[in-house]
Amino acid sequence: MSAKKQTKPSRKPTNKDNNLPESVQWLLKFLNLRSMPGKQNLNKLPVDVRKELKCPPLHPGLGVEQCSPTLEDFKQFFLKEWIPPKKGTELLLENGRSLESLNTEVKYPETWYMPTYDNYPFELKLFVQISELWGEFCRILGNMIHGTKTYDNEGTAEESFNHFKKTITEKYIECLDDDEIPDKGGYSKNRGADFRGIRDVIVGGVFEIDSFPHYGMLPQALYASILDFSCNHKKRLSRLRQCPLCGTFFYPKQRGRPSDYCTNECKKVFTRRPRNVDKALKASSRKRIKKVTMKIAKKEIIDWLRTFDFAREEAEEEYEKEKSSNPNNVASLKAFQNSYGRRFGLLKQSKNNKG
C-alpha cells in the first residue's frame, strides 16, 4: 500500500532567508501584527491600492474581524518578542512598572480624543501612543512600497516618511530628557551598563554609525527601533513588499522572481474565484467569442453571396432568412455553403467557376 502523499504546507517567509538584521526582523513582526496569511485585510493597504485591485477576493468570509492590534496584542507581542536588545520581562512602562503589570482589561471609552482624554487611565494613553505609531508607520511604508500618494497633503510618501522620522526623533529625545540621560555618555550604576549621552545618540543617528539605544522603557524603546530602521536600514526599503491580500510586510527571497504575495495561501485566495462566479465569467466569455465569430461569419457569407450577382441588400436579406429559420447554418461560411449553398445549387456553381 503506497504511502499517502503529503503536501508541503506553505509557510510565511522567514526573515532568516534573507539574513536580515535582528532589529529589522523584529520590526517586520511588529508591523505584521494582525496580518494572517490567507485572510483578507485590505484596510491595511493604501486607499489607492484598494481601489485599483484588479482581482480582489469575492468570498465574504475571507476578512478578519479585528484589523488593528489591541492592547492585549501589543502586550503579548512585547513579552514574547521583546524589543532588542531587552527581553520581554525586562521591558518597563513609562510609570516605572513592569510590562507584565499592564492591565489590558481596562474598558475602552465610547469616544476618543475628547477633553476627558487627559483623565483616561494610563493603559489607554499608552495604547493610543503605540497604536497610532503602528498605524502611521504601516500607512507610510505602504505608500512608499506601492508608490501611492499620501492623504495628508504631505506630498510624496518619501516626504511623509521624512516628516514621520523627524517627529519620532523629537519624541525620542523627549524620552531621553525625561529619563535624565546626560549630555555625555558614561557608566550607569543604576543600570549596570555603559550608556551613550544625548549628543552621542543624535550624532550617531545622523551619520548612521550605530543603532539607537534604549533602556527597556516603552514607548522610548519603540522610538529607538523605528529610528534605527529609518536611519541605518533605509536602503532596504527598495526591496520591502506588502502582500495585496493580508497586508503583510515582507522581503521576497533573493533568488528567483520576487513574489507579490507573502505566502501561497494569499496567492491562491486572491486568484481563486467562487464556482458560481467562475461559471458566469466563462459563460460570458463564450458569448463574447460567439458574437465576434458570428459577426465575421456574416460578412463572409454576404460577400460570398454577392459573387453570384446578389445585391448587398438581397444578400443581407437571404442571410437573415437563413438565420431566422436555422441559426446553425450561419455560424460560419462553410456551414452556410453546405446548407444554403447546396440547397440552391450555389456550391456546385462555385466549384464549376473555379474549374
Q: What is the pLDDT of residues 26-60, one digit of tens each?
A: 999 999 999 988 888 878 888 777 776 655 554 54
For the stretch 67-106, pLDDT in tens is: 789 999 999 999 999 888 777 777 888 777 888 888 888 8
What is the per-residue DSSP string for 110-135?
SS-SSGGGGGS-HHHHHHHHHHHHHH
Residue 93 to residue 219: CA distance in whole angstroms: 8
User: What is the β-pairing status of strands 249-250 and 186-188?
Assistant: unpaired
Q: What is the pLDDT of residues 188-240, one digit of tens each?
A: 555 445 555 655 655 444 444 456 777 788 888 899 899 889 888 888 888 89
pLDDT surpasses 60 at 125: yes
Of 252-266, 274-288, 328-342, minimum mean pLDDT range: 274-288
| Euclidean distance between CA atoms 83 and 220, whole angstroms | 11
pLDDT of amino acid 111 = 62
Q: What is the pLDDT of residues 271-308, one digit of tens each?
A: 665 566 567 667 777 887 888 888 899 999 999 999 98
For the chain, the farthest-separated pair of C-alpha atoms sits apart, in whole angstroms, at 112
Cα 309 to Cα 41, 305, 315, 346, distances in angstroms: 67, 7, 9, 11
CA gap 122, 103 in Å, rounded: 9
Query: Is the distance from CB of 260 to CB of 249 less than 8 angstroms?
Result: no
CB contact set of 40 (below 8 Å; sequence gap of 6+): 57, 62, 63, 64, 245, 246, 269
Contact 81, 88 (CB under 8 A): yes
Q: Which of 55-69, 126-140, 325-339 has the lowest mean pLDDT?
A: 55-69
Residue 180: what pLDDT?
56
* Residue 16: predicted pLDDT: 47
**pLDDT of 350 over the 80 cut:** no
> Within 10 Å of residue 206's Cβ, how many Cβ atoms?
10
Residue 65 pLDDT: 61
Q: Strand, helix or coil at 194?
A: strand
Please state at what angle helix 220-232 crosses helix 157-178, rounded to 10 degrees: 140
Q: Where are the domains of the chain?
A: 15-271, 275-354
Range 307-322 average pLDDT: 91
Query: Is 13's pLDDT higher than 50?
Result: no
Angle at alpha carbon of residue 140, lines to 238 and 43, rounded to 5°: 110
Flag whether pLDDT at 6 surpasses 50.
no
- Identify residue 307 by its one-letter amino acid code: T
| DSSP states along 272-307 | ---HHHHHHHHHHHHHHHHHHHHHHHHHHHHHHHHT
How distant is the alpha carbon of residue 164 from its chain centre? 21
> Looking at the DSSP assignment, which residues form a beta bridge with residue 242?
249
Count of CA atoms in the C-beta half-sphere (13 A) of 154? 17
- Cell 453546405 sits at which residue? 338
Taking all residues of the chain, what is their mean pLDDT, rounded to a whole number?
77
pLDDT of residue 273: 58
Distance CA 214, CA 176 (A): 9
Cα four-point dihedral sign 74, 75, 78, 79: negative
| Helix or strand (DSSP H, E) at 193 | strand 193-195
Cell of 243: 502582500
